[in-house]
Structure 1
Amino acid sequence: MQLDVMTLFPHWFDWFREQRHVKNAMEDGHEVRTFNPRDHSDMSARQVDDTPFGGGAGMVLRVDVMEKALRGVYAQDPVELRKERRVIALTPGGRVLDDAFVDELAAEEQGITLLCGRYEGFDERIVQHFCSDTLSIGRYVLAGGELAAMVVCDAVLRKLPGSLGHANSAVEESFSVALDGDPEYPHYTRPAEYRGWKVPDVLLSGHHAEIETWRRARSRERGDGGSRLGR
């Protein structure tokens, strides 16, 4: 898997690449690459944005700069690139990321390119003509797409074999097919009793079928909203 991020702040991803599961994935041949649109701007001070037509606050990322950046990286017209590769605009109004979307992205064979918005976002022609998808990590607004890009990369990479160190680590977890889309069940570890709070007896029983039944029941409860804590 090749995950490319178009960002004005590529150094932010140095920390991300140092995370253990990310390093595991990269050691297994997967890539997390970053590219700065400023490197492809031929305007004064490597400008990448401009004021919006029609007025309004903020600045908008220019379509011509993004085209030069994508052409510079892929040596291809971005209009054609999106037919061969998922090119995704990270924007608050995009398709909301969920486990099914992550599975879809993790199955991509040609790689994924994430475009990070900044300021007031993208010139709409970038989204309309260069992108195959739009993606949002939630219905709220961030200062830019970098954190969203890390969320997407993290979610995708941990689905890939070898990144988590155990083949089953990403199989039975919150919102997965294995749990019918429900949140994951509660976990406990030693000590078995602490301040009078006891681990459920079934988890200490050694009866794997009963443990599985208990876990699925707790998972379904959480899926029905039963995880809300009392205050």
Structure 2
Amino acid sequence: MKIDIISLFPEFFAAFFDHSIIKRAVAANRLTMAVTNPRDFAHNKHNQVDDTPYGGGAGMLMMAPPIFEAVEHVLGVKPELPATELRKRVIFLGPTGETFNQAKARELATYDQLVLICGHYEGVDYRVEEHLVDETISIGDFVLTGGELPAMIVADAVARMIPGILGAASGAMEDSFYRPILEGPQYTKPPVYRDWSVPDVLRSGHHQNIANWRLQQALLRTLKLRPDLLDRELTGEEERAIKELKKQGLWNP
């Protein structure tokens, strides 16, 4: 997979590219990442990429031409030429889009190339969203200075879904939101710390009992913190776990 980021501030991504998961994916030749500055495609001697909005209003908007040309450059196509057979997705990171989640990360991981456009200033010329991008993605109902942090979040979540990137084969599947419940509590050494012990079942070596306990704990945590995630058709495994929790008097919606 290739992930291209369109940003006015390429220096923001230096440490991110050296992050363990991203660095591992790149080193394994499973992921290629690059940042392209739309300022390199500006059409004036001052490399201007923003201007005042038509109709008035506060702030400046990023202009359409530098963004279009930066994206077309990384896609390797020109407007008059057909696209290749590769699966590509162009995404604008903005507050008006669909909220990003784990299902979207899994979907995006199926593409050969992602292009993530980072907005700045008061936004971008709407023709970018209307005629260039395939979709707009938001990471939440709040306002950020630019799209760089959302781009990192999307890239990191997608990279985790690439087969062979995580150390343990099941690592990604056990994460919260890989399936629509929160991840249960986990423990490591020492077995006892300040009189707080690791649950005996986790040290029992009985894999099925451990799996059952983890699912039950995940369901209990979800019930407490995100009950909305349980407002759906439950799997048979989840129903059996909840039935057992009810027997123990632990399931109290």
Q: Indicate which of 143, 146, 151 corresponds to 2:145.
A: 143
User: Which residue is equivalent to 1:103?
Assistant: 106
Matched, 1:65 2:66: yes
Q: TM-score, normalised by structure 2?
A: 0.82
Q: How many residues align?
A: 224
Cα distance in 2, alignment partners of residues 72 and 210 from structure 1:
54
SS in structure 2 at match of 1:224: helix
Cα distance in structure 2, aligned partners of 1:41 and 1:82:
26
1:92 aligned partner: 95
Considering only aligned residues, what root-mean-square deviation do their CA atoms show, in Å? 2.2
Q: Distance in 2 between matches of 1:90 and 1:78?
A: 26
Which residue identity lines up with residue 161 of structure 1 in the other structure?
P
Alpha-carbon offset, residue 70 of structure 1:
2.5
Shift of 1:172: 1.7
Alignment partner of 1:53 is 2:57: no
More deviation, 59-68/111-120: 59-68
SS in structure 2 at match of 1:171: helix
Residues 89 and 80 (structure 1 numbering): CA distance in 2 closer, same or farther, change over 3 Å?
farther
Shift of 1:80: 6.8
Gaps of 5+ in 2: 228-253
Deviation of 1:69 after TM superposition, in Å, equals 2.2
Which deviates more from structure 2 when the two are superposed, residues 89-98 or residues 161-170?
161-170
Residue equivalent to 2:237: none
- Opposite residue 37 of structure 1, the aligned amino acid is P
Query: What CA deviation, in whole Å up to 9, does each residue of 1:175-211 have, x standing for no partner?
Result: 113xxx1011100112222222222222122222111
* 1:49-68 Cα distance to aligned partner (Å, 9 max, x none): 11112222111111122223
1:36 alignment partner AA:
N
TM superposition outliers: structure 1 runs of 4+ over 3 Å: 78-84
Following superposition, the deviation at residue 27 of structure 1 comes to: 1.8
Task: Tell me how far apart the structure 1 counterparts of residues 117 and 81 of structure 2 sit (CA, whole Å).
Answer: 15
Match of 1:124? 126
Q: Secondary structure at the match of 2:67?
A: helix
Report the equivalent of 2:17.
17
Equivalent residue for 1:42?
Answer: 43
Are 2:176 and 2:183, in contact at CA under 8 Å, matched by a contact in 1? yes
- Post-superposition Cα deviations, 1:5-49, rounded to whole Å, max 9, x if no partner, equal 000011221111111211111122210111000001022410101
Which structure has the greater CA radius of gyration? 2
2:3: which partner in 1?
A: 3
Contact 1:63–1:126 (8 Å) recurs in 2:
yes
How does the TM-score come out when normalised to structure 1? 0.90
3-state SS of the aligned residue for 1:156? helix
Contact 1:70 1:76 in 2 (8 A): no
Q: Residues 121 and 146 of structure 2 are in contact (CA less than 8 Å); yes or no, is this contact kept in structure 1?
A: yes
Specify whether residues 145 and 226 from structure 1 end up closer, same or farther in structure 2 by C-alpha distance, changes over 3 A only. closer
